[in-house]
């Protein structure tokens, strides 16, 4: 049946069509529901109907002020969460402008965190966004502990591992082995690649954490140097030769600046020459940039989907007004729309969110250095591990400070059998896992 243009007066006396009269976030927060937080699969609190003013008590950290970060800041502003901090070390590049909508041409070169915070604070006067231009690793644990929720929109694995381990390390376990809820800071993490993206909720020690899913983020593809040097076949081989072999040879003292058009033109020209020599087609400047900088395509739409899904979860986690994503949402948009939401299971021996002691069997003659190398290359993917014998407390090797490194360096070339007992537990620490250590029982075969 057709509806006549029924309209009614709003509180200001203006007529407004009935489809324009509608509820808001305030409605959601003020009314009871059959689907509040405590009714869901990940209950962490009980919903009490309230008003918008209840939102002002929350303090939220946004990690990254790029494609996801800009959206996340806007979404928090539009959700009335006013006390927000944002951290990013990057500055604005022209190629950000197709999606990082808080930046304009005039802002290129400026700090992402600062420009984004300024834009939001000006547009939304109720907002108080505090920017931090710098590395996440430079903030101490008291900084991170002060937040009620952390939303991360990072573009790299290393930073996400560090952030995840930091937040997970805050959880205190009581005598019964249960995590103390007041020490749990929810992490909502998002990521995108082209038309695909994912959003996930991490309740440290309750759900899986980022480290549990490390295997699903394979290390970046490397170029087989032998092919690149001897039998180039595809344009990528020629580009790899130009920037991996020719550049260091030509400029041994100068690091390639991938943001410099001058440097990149040089690489492109060398790659082009090489491709012509071998009759290989397809070396272009765009491809050169893509290969050297390992560029991942990025569009506004995917960032919007993932960021809004993340902030939606954050708002629900803070207000308990609805249930929680359990735990991982994947969005694939290139062939129709395929969205899959599933429980990402905790990894049994996750080095970050379980206390499992791993077992490792090595030859008796294996040196400490070889063991540490295995930890870097193996599934733990450590960066710069240090080792201590757990029972004796004897320091085996320390990366820092320099005097300790120097003192323990001779141990590196010693066989393990000279340093520890068969089956002895070694405590491994790594700057990748701040506040956490990994137990490793080493057996000789």
Partner 1 sequence: MATDNKYDRQLRLWGANGQKKLSESCIVLVNATAVGTETLKNLCLPGVGKFHIIDDAKLSPSTSPQDPFSNFFVFRDQDSNGTPQDRAEIATKHLSELNPDVIGSFTSVDSLETADYESIFSSLAETGQNLLVIASDLPPSILKKISSICWDGIRSKPVPLVIVKSFGLIGSVRIQTPYHAIIESKPDNEKPDLRLAPTSMNASVFPELAALVEKTNLDQMDSKDHSHVPYVILLLKAMQLWRKSNEKDDDALPKTFAEKEEYRKELKSLARDMNMELNFIEADQNYYLAYTDLEIPFEVQELIDLAQENLYQKVEKKGDVDMFDVLLLALKKFMESHDGFPPLNGSIPDMTASTQGYIELQTIYKSKAESDVQEMKRIIAAIGDEYDADKTGVIPLVSDDDLNVFCKNIYNLRLIKTRSYCQEYDFEFGDDKDELLSDVAMSTFDPYDDPVHTPILWYIALKACDLFYDEHGHYPGQDDRDLALESDAKNVQKYIVEILSKIGLDENELVQSTLLSTEEEKDMAFAKEMTRYNNAEIHNIASVIGGVASQEAVKLITGKFIPMDGTYIFNGIVGVAGVIKL
Separation of first and last alpha carbons in the chain: 81
Q: Which of residues 255-294 bind partner 1 (CB under 8 A)?
A: 258-261, 263-264, 278-280, 285-286, 289-290, 293
In the region spanning residues 181 to 240, those forming contacts with partner 1, defined by CB under 8 A, are 194-195, 199, 227, 231-234
Q: Which of 313/425 has CB closer to partner 1?
A: 313
b/e code 131-159 from CB counts within 10 Å (16+ = b): bbbeebeeeeeeebeebbbbbbbbbebeb
How far apart are CB 172 and partner 1 at their closest, in Å? 28
Q: Which run of H or of E encompasses 73? A: helix 67-77
User: Which tokens is 184 given?
Assistant: 């749990």
Question: Shortest Cβ distance from residue 178 to partner 1 (Å)?
Answer: 24
Q: Which is nearer to partner 1, 21 or 407 (CB)?
A: 21
Find tokens 């506004």 and name the residue. 300
Q: Specify the residue, 96 or 437, whose C-beta has the smaller distance to partner 1.
A: 96
Instruction: Classify 7 as helix, strand or coil.
Output: strand
Among 53, 56, 95, 391, binds partner 1 (CB under 8 A): 95
- Two tokens, residue 318: 């803070």
d(C-alpha 112, C-alpha 153), whole Å: 13
Pairing of strands 59-63, 149-152: parallel
Task: Spell out, one character per residue from 142 to 181, where the chain touches partner 1: x when CB under 8 A holds, - when not.
Answer: ----------------------------------------
Beta-carbon-side half-sphere exposure of residue 418 (alpha carbons within 13 Å): 10
Instruction: Using the rule CB under 8 A, give the single segment among 58-66, 100-108, 378-386, 412-420 that binds partner 1.
Output: 100-108
Do residues 130 and 86 lie in contact, with contact meaning Cβ atoms separated by under 8 Å? yes
Using the contact rule CB under 8 A, the part of the chain among 58-66, 72-80, 211-219, 359-367 near partner 1 is 72-80
245 binds partner 1 (CB under 8 A): no
Q: How far apart are CA 306 and CA 190, in angstroms?
A: 6
Shortest spacing between CB 59 and partner 1, in angstroms: 19
Catalytically annotated residue among 21, 70, 226, 353: 226
Q: CA 191, CA 200: separation in Å to the nearest integer?
A: 9
Number of Cβ atoms within 10 Å of the Cβ of 425: 18
Cβ 261 to partner 1, closest distance in Å?
5
Q: How many CB atoms lie within 10 A of CB 49?
A: 13
* Closer of 124 and 362 to partner 1 (Cβ): 124
DSSP 272-295: HHHHHHTT-----HHHHHHHHHTP
For the segment 288-327, give every residue that binds partner 1 (CB under 8 A). 289-290, 293, 295-309, 311-313, 315, 322-326
Nearer to partner 1, 293 or 364 (CB): 293
Q: Does 23 bind partner 1 (CB under 8 A)?
A: yes
Looking at the Cβ atoms of 260 and 356, the one nearer to partner 1 is 260
Quick count: other Cβ atoms within 10 Å of Cβ 115? 25
Find the shortest distance in angstroms from Cβ 435 to partner 1. Answer: 29
Binding-site residue total for partner 1 (CB under 8 A)?
A: 108
Q: Which residue has the tokens 């959601």?
A: 28
Return the range that interacts with partner 1 (CB under 8 A); candidates 34-42, 361-369, 376-384, 437-445: 34-42
- Strands 328-332, 438-444: pairing is unpaired
Tell me if residue 226 is catalytic: yes
Q: What is the DSSP letter of 243?
A: I
3 binds partner 1 (CB under 8 A): yes
Task: Using the minimum distance from each CB to partner 1, give the nearer residue, 10 or 391.
Answer: 10
Q: Least separation, in Å, of the C-beta of 269 and partner 1?
A: 14
Closest contact distance (angstroms) between CB of 341 and partner 1 is: 5
Contact between residue 209 and residue 328 where contact means Cβ atoms under 8 Å apart: no
Catalytic residue annotation: 226
């Amino acid at each position: 049946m057709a509806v006549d243009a029924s309209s009614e007066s709003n509180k200001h006396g203006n007529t407004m069509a009935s489809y324009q009269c509608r509820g808001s976030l305030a409605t959601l927060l003020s009314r009871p529901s059959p689907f509040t937080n405590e009714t869901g699969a990940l209950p962490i609190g009980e919903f009490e109907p309230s008003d918008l003013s209840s939102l002002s008590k929350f303090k939220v950290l946004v990690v990254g002020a790029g494609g996801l970060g800009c959206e996340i800041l806007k979404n928090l502003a539009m959700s009335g969460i006013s006390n927000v901090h944002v951290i990013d070390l990057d500055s604005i590049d022209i190629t950000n402008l197709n999606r990082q909508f808080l930046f304009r041409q005039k802002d290129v070169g400026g700090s992402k965190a600062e420009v984004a915070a300024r834009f939001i604070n000006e547009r939304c006067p109720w907002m108080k966004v505090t920017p931090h231009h710098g590395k996440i690793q430079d903030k101490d644990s008291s900084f991170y502990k002060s937040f009620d929720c952390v939303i991360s929109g990072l573009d790299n694995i290393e930073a996400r591992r560090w952030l995840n381990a930091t937040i997970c390390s805050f959880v205190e376990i009581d005598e019964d082995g249960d995590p103390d809820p007041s020490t749990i800071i929810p992490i909502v993490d998002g990521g995108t690649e082209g038309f695909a993206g994912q959003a996930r909720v991490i309740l440290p020690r309750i759900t899986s954490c980022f480290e549990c899913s490390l295997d699903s983020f394979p290390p970046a593809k490397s170029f087989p140097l032998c092919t690149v040097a001897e039998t180039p076949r595809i344009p990528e081989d020629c580009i790899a030769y130009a920037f991996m072999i020719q550049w260091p040879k030509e400029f041994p003292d100068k690091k390639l600046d991938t943001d410099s058009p001058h440097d990149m033109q040089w690489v492109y020209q060398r790659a082009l020459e090489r491709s012509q020599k071998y009759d290989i087609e397809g070396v272009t400047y765009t491809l050169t940039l893509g290969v050297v900088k390992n560029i991942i395509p990025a569009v506004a739409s995917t960032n919007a989907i993932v960021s809004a899904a993340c902030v939606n979860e954050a708002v629900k986690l803070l207000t308990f007004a609805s249930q929680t994503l359990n735990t991982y949402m994947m969005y694939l948009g290139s062939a129709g729309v395929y969205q899959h939401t599933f429980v990402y299971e905790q990894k049994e021996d996750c080095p970050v969110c379980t206390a499992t002691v791993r077992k490792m069997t090595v030859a008796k003659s294996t040196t400490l250095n070889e063991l540490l190398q295995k930890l870097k290359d193996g599934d733990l993917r450590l960066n710069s591990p240090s080792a201590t014998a757990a029972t004796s407390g004897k320091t085996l090797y320390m990366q820092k400070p320099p005097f300790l490194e120097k003192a323990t360096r001779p141990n590196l070339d010693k066989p393990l059998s000279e340093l520890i007992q068969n089956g002895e537990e070694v405590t491994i620490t790594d700057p990748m896992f701040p506040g956490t250590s990994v137990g490793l029982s080493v057996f000789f075969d």
